[in-house]
Structure 1
Amino acid sequence: MGFKKCNRGNARFIEAEYNAKQLKSVAAKLKATKFNGVLVVITNPNDVIVTLYQKLTGFPKEKVIGTGTLLDTARMKNAVGETFDVDPRSVQGYNLGEHGNSQFTAWSTVKILDESIEPVAAEKGIDLNQIANISRDNGYRVLNGKGYTSYAIAASALRLTETI
């Protein structure tokens, strides 16, 4: 199934109607197997699809989870690392909200090498809003270039399932 190139306003929700229709069949089949594990959802719009899976399968909420803002957080860490010339693994912090346009970086949680980012950015004249925009737009760059995203979400899902 191919989708036209998307803009920032509709990229994750353009798939909602199609994915929701497919979900009914998949959820019924999954429920019939008496699946007893943790279902990790990567489909967009992620939070909406997670909620639908929870309702359609009747599985407990703790057994149906999405990747949420894990990918957004990774993109933020990469953007911070690039901006401050540090390894992204030296960046701690979180993006919160719903995956996609409405997610945001909780700058009060972000540290570089255990130092709060806000005073460091102010000292260097770095605009944190610019970093947030870069981090949010990186997914759209990939989407508009390839027509889909795959590697980053797969890596995020792998990380999440290994943690479970």
Structure 2
Amino acid sequence: MNFVKNKLVVVGAGMVGSAVLNSVLSLNLLSEVVIIDINDNKAKGEALDASHTTSFAYSPNVKVRAGNYEDCADAQIIVITAGPSLKPDDKLDRLVLADTNVKVTDSIMKNICKYTKDAIIIVVTNPVDIATYYCQNNFDYPKNKIIGTGTLLDTARMRKIIGKKYNVDSKNVHGYVLGEHGGSSFTSWSDVNIAGIPFNQLNDIFKDHYKVDKDEVDKEVRDSGIEVLKLQGYTSAGIAMSVSRLVKAMLLNEQSILPVSSTLEGEYGINDVALSIPCIITSNGIEKKLEIPLSKDEVEKLNKSADNLKSIIKGLNTNK
């Protein structure tokens, strides 16, 4: 396949799709961005608005336009954001979107597969673990080239929360939120550290700061997205930056280790469900899934997360 160098397609021109469009443009790494939406005028409006930003100094002359699924044929990366999102008055659980958004994802994947099986697909549509599993296991598409954003945003939230509590730059906080992007996610506390200082030693080093409670942090991470939803009616900025982080890692072949959603194949004894563990991200997509050391309790939480998602998958009859 001859790709158009650094061409990206965004499927879905809603709040998230629009935020993704503007976020990836700010990377200054793309030559062409195409946005697709069932509402063609919405896609054209978003593309036109975003295209005007390329006239400013230090902005590359990116070609930004509305398009259709034929544009996937020579794209390097496709981002799926389409499908209804939670509203503040809904039951605040991403899994309630499963039935509707699996149908949306099915239609999108069928259209993409008409034109390519080479592009890397980033799945954003919620519930992202269910959508990712469906895309990876119901189409003849390389699994390593389909990546769910998973707990990448949850991990960013966790690092921000801990950095704020200890009054340090959150980029110096290391560790992951794993499992489901949702109610059963958890922080792998055995791996959390600040500049190499293990979590269980932080309170001795940072004596003047608030003693961090693990359960409180996990709850705050899980509730963060819902809090944003309640306050402004939608979430977009955080997930858009998560997509940009993945796009950059792919375009630059960074070999970065990021927690993303993919179908497990024996890692931690878990099979046939998509959830997040750390993965090496390259220009080929997921190069390797890493079975990092976890405590017995953390492995149990990961299995609980898997069981939670499997029950939804079984109900949707998404198995081949």
Q: Which amino acid aligns with 2:224?
A: N
Q: Matched residues in 2 for 1:102 and 1:3: separation?
A: 18
Farther off after superposition, 54-63 or 42-51 = 54-63
Q: Matched residues in 2 for 1:2 and 1:71: separation?
A: 16
CA contact (8 A) 2:182 2:222 kept: yes
Give, in angstroms, the shift of residue 10 of structure 1.
4.4
Q: Which runs of 5+ in 2 are unaligned?
A: 1-83, 251-320
SS at 1:79's partner residue?
A: helix
Q: Please give the TM-score of this superposition, normalised by the length of structure 2.
A: 0.48
CA contact (8 A) 2:85 2:97 kept: no
SS at 2:133's partner residue?
A: helix
Q: 1:6 to 1:80 in 2, by over 3 A?
A: farther
Of 222, 227, 231, 1:141 maps to 227
Q: Matched residues in 2 for 1:126 and 1:60: separation?
A: 42
Q: Matched residues in 2 for 1:28 and 1:114: separation?
A: 46
User: Does 2:190 align with 1:131?
Assistant: no
User: Does 2:91 align with 1:5?
Assistant: no
Q: Please give the TM-score of this superposition, normalised by the length of structure 1.
A: 0.90
Q: Matched residues in 2 for 1:136 and 1:28: separation?
A: 32
Quote the residue 2:197 is aligned against. Answer: 115
Q: Matched residues in 2 for 1:118 and 1:140: separation?
A: 29
CA contact (8 A) 2:92 2:226 kept: no
CA contact (8 A) 2:86 2:92 kept: no
Of 81, 94, 101, 2:163 maps to 81
Deviations 1:77-121 (A, max 9, x none): 000011111110110111111111111000111111210112224
Q: Which runs of 5+ in 1 are unaligned?
A: none
Q: Could you say which structure has the larger radius of gyration?
A: 2
Identity, in percent, stands at 37
User: Does 2:133 align with 1:51?
Assistant: yes
Q: Matched residues in 2 for 1:3 and 1:90: separation?
A: 32
Q: 1:6 to 1:96 in 2, by over 3 A?
A: farther
Q: Which amino acid aligns with 1:150?
A: S
Quote the residue 1:26 is aligned against. Answer: 108
Q: 1:97 to 1:156 in 2, by over 3 A?
A: same
CA contact (8 A) 1:28 1:56 kept: no
CA contact (8 A) 1:121 1:127 kept: no
Q: Matched residues in 1 for 2:87 and 2:213: separation?
A: 33
Would you tell me which structure has more strand in proportion to its own residues?
2
Give, in angstroms, the shift of residue 3 of structure 1.
4.4
Of 236, 246, 260, 1:160 maps to 246
Q: Matched residues in 2 for 1:99 and 1:121: separation?
A: 28
SS at 2:138's partner residue?
A: helix
Q: Matched residues in 1 for 2:97 and 2:225: separation?
A: 16
Q: Matched residues in 2 for 1:90 and 1:35: separation?
A: 38
Q: Matched residues in 2 for 1:146 and 1:157: separation?
A: 21
CA contact (8 A) 1:69 1:97 kept: yes
Farther off after superposition, 77-86 or 120-129 = 120-129
Of 118, 123, 129, 1:41 maps to 123
Give, in angstroms, the shift of residue 126 of structure 1.
2.7
Q: Matched residues in 1 for 2:127 and 2:89: separation?
A: 14
Give, in angstroms, the shift of residue 68 of structure 1.
1.3
Q: 1:43 to 1:52 in 2, by over 3 A?
A: same
Farther off after superposition, 18-27 or 82-91 = 18-27
Aligned residue pairs: how many?
A: 163
Give, in angstroms, the shift of residue 35 of structure 1.
3.9
SS at 2:100's partner residue?
A: helix
Higher relative contact order (CA closer than 8 Å, sequence separation 6+): 1
CA contact (8 A) 2:117 2:141 kept: no
RMSD: 1.9
